[in-house]
Structure 1
């Protein structure tokens, strides 16, 4: 009981030290407020508010119908420009897309010929340009086909293919990217806070003062783990409520309590990872490099950026030892699909097993490093 009390008060001491570290506090606030908002809304994988112009040399019912087929929020209102001035407008950066309909376009369609529509794209905006080209092609093709069926130039299809997206019907990238960003911040911050606390006390000589007291290295490590995990867990819960749901309007399909429970299991593993990296590093600079070399690949291979199924077979097997993969899989199932504990319990078991193994290794190395330094 006395040992648990000692670990508790050491953890409170850790929280007090964090409160006085304004740099870490600023990083903590930034990582769970503005950072996920910017990551979720700053980089879109779909066309949004793209500027578009229309140069209509045909001025027919079909060409006018094509000009009215583009709607917000994907596109801005279509601007009619003088034919032949599209390149100049794009050079001036006024439009991302310019569509030019040649004269006699509807006449050629009615005559069964295959006229061409010119689409100019400003490819300096690579993400929007690549996706927008597909959007425009599908919109124009659908409108021309609808006109041809109405004019009895083409038979209507006997089968209509209707696509329905599960769990994200509107294919809203913000909803998906926001949660992935939050999970990434949880992993970064937990590892950095725990490891930086270890390095800071070693550089300031605080470890030697603690060892002069009747405290074991195990108590020091466990205190740092629970204190930093508790801080990140509270910050993640507040960010989920006020930033994800409040600011970004992301709906949580499953249980928020179950998501936070899975987060607590992952924090147990991530803090142990922070202790492990801090034990290997001899300075804050070395620790920062180790974080980049270890945490960044774990995030990239977690399944948040690209699905696990898209990775090579040998790499898929390797990611089973990454706690980030199991946390990402469980979080997406809970948040997007409304999964319960009966679905995500294997991921929870994996995280627990990996956390215990990593914690045992970290404590062994930490005890050894403390004994040698003493």
Structure 2
């Protein structure tokens, strides 16, 4: 056992030295865990920010002005006044995404209990912003009307209308209180980059040995196939985990302000288990692919499948029930849930140990399968 571990350690050092000698690959890894994370977190947000709004106010009352003042940054720009004749032209030019059309006598009808309506004109060419922004805008107006109803007493309710007991929900946000997409997108991007680089680097280490002809040098050394494969998994996995941890530290302390609620030690352990599991899959794909281009083409659909169905971009619960059961065999599905639990919800080992055990079992399965194919590949050299 001591000799086996010593051989793995020496081979791992050789792999790390070979990896760090490729400056282009090192620069790519650094980019993946720094610039790519920040750009994805801040640039790919689906939140409504500084959306241009105009108001066609035909009432010009205290209530209409109050509703207009309720629409303010950071979600919307300060509303501008616009006439009916200019509404269509400005929306066609993209000057405004939303236009509030407040009808005449709006305040009077509201005080008389007639329940007048405000029309919201939306530029639907900006699809994501149109859908999300309409909900934001409707919520802002509804909240302001609720406050005005309190200020006016029983205003807005007809004298003949019977009293109705209404239940008002009280929402307490425990995690991500401002519903910031940066908190989610930054962590999700790290998980995605961690998955892609683990798959590519572990497999590329095998392909590189075959293309350079150094695989024959390993065969004449007193090392076994398991030592060679496990050394490649450990070397590449440790470098990737180190970069991922540095990236997490950066998004916590250097600009994005994403807090980590759980233990960093637990998060590090989960990353190591996941990387070792997925690196075994990368070696398996590298053994099946005869060249680097074919390996790259094989990795792309595998990565897209496991990542898009893992629950990082959309909930697993929104998928068909059969797919929900099938996708559980992927370590990425377990890892995404594990990271979300630890980083955002502050979960401890008692809450996530089942996911760690599942990832560990999946990793052992992939490793055994990869070793069997790796031995077959070496025997053909």
Shorter-chain TM-score bucket reads: over 0.9
Partner of 1:98: 99
Structure 1, unaligned runs of 5 or more? none
User: Is 1:66 aligned with 2:74?
Assistant: no
Offset, 1:366: 0.8
Structure 2, unaligned runs of 5 or more? 158-162
Offset, 1:158: 4.6
Partner of 2:217: 209
Match of 1:273 among 259, 276, 281: 281
Deviations 1:302-358 (A, max 9, x none): 121222222222112112211111111111111111111111111111011111111
Deviations 1:49-76 (A, max 9, x none): 2121222222111110111111222112
Deviations 1:66-93 (A, max 9, x none): 1111122211222223343122222222
Partner of 1:218: 226
Question: What is the distance in 2 between the residues matched to 1:286 and 1:76?
Answer: 50
After the TM superposition, list the runs of 4 or more consecutive aligned residues in structure 1 that deviate by more than 6 angstroms: none
Partner of 2:83: 82
Question: Please, which moves more after superposition, 64-73 or 144-153?
Answer: 144-153
* Cα 1:48/1:156, change in 2 over 3 Å: farther
Contact 1:178 1:244 survives alignment (8 Å): no
Question: What is the distance in 2 between the residues matched to 1:245 and 1:327?
Answer: 23
Contact 1:179 1:244 survives alignment (8 Å): no
Partner of 2:37: 36
C-alpha RMSD over aligned residues: 1.8
Offset, 1:102: 2.6
Offset, 1:243: 2.9
Partner of 1:153: 156
Helix, strand or coil: the match of 1:98? strand
Partner of 1:108: 109
User: Is 1:10 aligned with 2:11?
Assistant: yes
Match of 1:191 among 199, 220, 243: 199
Question: What is the distance in 1 between the residues matched to 2:6 and 2:52?
Answer: 63
Deviations 1:150-193 (A, max 9, x none): 44232686532222233222211111121111111111111111
Match of 2:373 among 332, 342, 365: 365
Partner of 1:353: 361
Aligned residues: 373
Contact 2:310 2:332 survives alignment (8 Å): yes
Contact 1:195 1:274 survives alignment (8 Å): yes
Partner of 1:135: 136
Contact 2:186 2:251 survives alignment (8 Å): no
Partner of 1:237: 245
Question: Please, which moves more after superposition, 341-350 or 115-124?
Answer: 115-124
TM-score by length of 1: 0.94
User: Is 1:260 aligned with 2:268?
Assistant: yes
Match of 1:290 among 293, 298, 303: 298
* Cα 1:125/1:245, change in 2 over 3 Å: farther
Helix, strand or coil: the match of 2:254? helix
Question: What is the distance in 2 between the residues matched to 1:142 and 1:83?
Answer: 26
Contact 1:195 1:278 survives alignment (8 Å): yes
Deviations 1:103-127 (A, max 9, x none): 2222333344344423222222211
Partner of 1:247: 255
